[in-house]
Structures are given as C-alpha cells and as structure tokens.
A = this chain, B = another copy of it.
Amino acid sequence: MNKTIYDVAREAGVSMATVSRVLNGTAVVKEETKAKVLAAIEKLGYRPNAVARGLASKRTKSIGVILPDVSDLFHAEVLRGIEDIATMYQYHIILTNSDAREQREIDLVGTMWEKQVDGLIFISQDVTPQIVKTFEQAQLPVVLCATEDPEGRIPSVSINNEAAAYDATRHFLDRGVTRIAFLGGPPTLPVSRERRKGYEKALSEAGLPLDETLVLHARDLHYEAGLATASAFLHKTSGADAVVAVSDELALGYLNALRERGGEAPQDVLLLGFDNTRLATMLRPQLTTIAQPTYDLGAVSMRLLTKLLHEEAIEQYTVQLPHSIIERDSTAREARA
C-alpha cells in the first residue's frame, strides 16, 4: 500500500488537515510544525494523490487539448506552445486527435468533461454551430486555437487569415506582378475561404479581374494534395507569374509538380507559402512564406485559458496574433529571366 496523508500526519504528530495546509499553502502554519511535516513527507517519500485531490477540490489541474492530428507539423508545434505554458502554470495536458471529424470532436468534449478537465483548448479547421453548442452545454472554459468562432462567442487566439492572404497577394502586386495564381484547400474550409477572400480583395483593389483559371483547390493542406492538384491542373496556371499557396506543404507540392515538367522556382514562377514551417528553410530554394506565430498560437491560447480559469482580468477574449511575410529565395526576382 502507498503512503497517504494520514501516514504523514501520524509521523509528524499533527492532524491531516495540517499536512494538507502545508502541502497547499492554504493557511498559515507555524514554522516549527511545518518543518516537522516536511520532514515526515521526506522521510516517507510521500506524494499526494492527484486523483483524490481532484475529487475533493473539484479541480484537476489538467486541461484537455483536442486537435485534428498531432503528427501534423503545424499542430505539433502549436501543441508544444500549449504544453510549455501549461507546465509553467502546473497544468497537465490530456491530448486527443479528432481527425477533424465533427462527431468525434463533439464526443471528445464529452469525454474531456468526464475526465473533469479544468478547461479545454480546441483546434479545428471548422468550428460548427453544433460544436459551439456542445461547448456551451458542457460548461467548460474553452479557448479556440488557430480558429475562431464565427459568432465570436467563444474566446479564441488566431491570426487574421484574410489580411494575411491579402498581404501575400499585395506583395506581388506591389512589385508589378499581376498574374497571380492561388492554390487553396477545400473551398468549404474556413481558413481556405478567408485566405481566398484576401487574395480576391487585393486583386480587385488593384483593379484586376478575378481569373478563375488561376485558382486551384487541393483536397487538404498537405503536400500530397498539393502535388496531386498541381500535377493535374498545372496547365491551367501556366500563365501565372506567381503563386500564393495557403500552406508551405502545398507550395512545395506545386513546386515539385512544376519540376516534373522541367520548371523551377523562382525562375519560372515566384512561389509563396503559408505558415513558415521548418520546411521553408530546409528547402532549396528557401521558401518565401507568410509566418504564423505557430508556437505562440498555442502559448497564448493556454495563457488565455489560465486567465479564464483563475478569473484574471481579460482585455481581449478574441485575440488575433500578428502575421508577417518572410522573403526568401522562392520569390527572388533577380533570378527571373
């Protein structure tokens, strides 16, 4: 059998309540008795049982994280940000993958509740009304990470996707490049839709017509999808001088499809990605990209959640982190013919 708080109390010659007090610092304890307790704890090698503690206090010091897929580089990096701040505030992470399936996401909120997590960080490509409803029923503090609630009722930390794509497109326009292709994800996906909106806005502001033949949609944001889509439809965009891809992986897929036909960037087309994943610097040419503060997205989400949990004052329930454009070789114009 394992040591309990009773054993410590007996060993120290005090009551269990006192032990609890020195453990939690919930009340002042005389230095002398505190020392006795600490000694007893040390001697017995006692460690408090967090489960019992959770039951009695109704706070488990654990928070749930629901995300589509940890093995996705972007999510893994966000998660690292979450975890670091969680550790800092003494919270533990209970992690689950949703595979971006709505029903599973909803079910997971339920099992997270069963686990009595103190709060939830939710990462999804699409925060549907169903899901929002689930959050409200669950009565759990939730922070959306890298997404927003369209209705704005759930606290969130994200970037302004429309503005980011706008900036990306403007980057080319400002340099006199006007035939700009867009490689997006599924048209229904909010991120993809917002970015397309930014792309279109920049074009129309510049007085350019939207040329549908320059718009491609991959089935998701991964490399394989980018390669497949670009391979199949490269001819559509053959007139393009530049490509805005909504993820670094998609950009690379486009590039490799181009290479299959003997093309190269930036010589044949200027190429810009999204996310500034490690990939961007590992490639040759290095990839110009819109940097999302990936790690910070997670870190700030977790920080916001701690504020929610500790009822600290909160200025902003919906925070948008700044993005930036990082210029690298894939858009180096000097290299162009």
Chain A interfacial positions (CB closer than 8 Å to B) = 47-52, 54-55, 60, 62, 69-73, 76-77, 79-80, 83-84, 87, 92-97, 110-111, 113-116, 223, 249, 252, 256, 259, 278-279, 282-284, 295
Q: Assuming A47-B110, A71-B76, A93-B94, what are 10 further A-B pairs, CB within 8 angstroms? A: A47-B113, A50-B114, A50-B115, A51-B51, A62-B94, A71-B77, A83-B97, A94-B95, A256-B284, A279-B279
- State in angstroms the CA–CA spacing of A15 and B5 once bound together: 32
Secondary structure type dominating chain A contacts: helix
Supposing A55-B51, A80-B69, A252-B282 touch, asked if A115 and B92 sit within 8 A by C-beta, the answer is yes
Contact between B71 and A60 (Cβ–Cβ < 8 Å)?
no
Minimum distance in angstroms from A105 CB to a CB of chain B: 14
Stoichiometry, as copies per complex, reads: 2
Supposing A92-B96, A94-B92, A223-B278 touch, asked if A50 and B116 sit within 8 A by C-beta, the answer is yes
- State in angstroms the CA–CA spacing of A70 and B73 once bound together: 9
- State in angstroms the CA–CA spacing of A52 and B53 once bound together: 10
Contact between A52 and B50 (Cβ–Cβ < 8 Å)?
no
- Contact among B69, B115, B284 for A51, CB-based, below 8 A: B115
- State in angstroms the CA–CA spacing of A279 and B93 once bound together: 28
- State in angstroms the CA–CA spacing of A291 and B80 once bound together: 26
Contact between A114 and B48 (Cβ–Cβ < 8 Å)?
yes
Closest A-B pairs by Cβ, 9 of them:
A71-B80, A76-B76, A50-B114, A51-B54, A71-B77, A51-B116, A95-B95, A71-B76, A50-B115
- Contact among B69, B83, B111, B278 for A95, CB-based, below 8 A: B83
Minimum distance in angstroms from A298 CB to a CB of chain B: 10
Closest to A58 in B: B51
- State in angstroms the CA–CA spacing of A55 and B57 once bound together: 13
Minimum distance in angstroms from A308 CB to a CB of chain B: 19
Contact between B96 and A223 (Cβ–Cβ < 8 Å)?
no
Can you identify 13 A-B contacts, CB atoms within 8 angstroms?
A: A47-B114, A50-B114, A50-B115, A50-B116, A51-B60, A62-B115, A70-B70, A71-B73, A71-B79, A76-B76, A92-B94, A93-B96, A256-B282
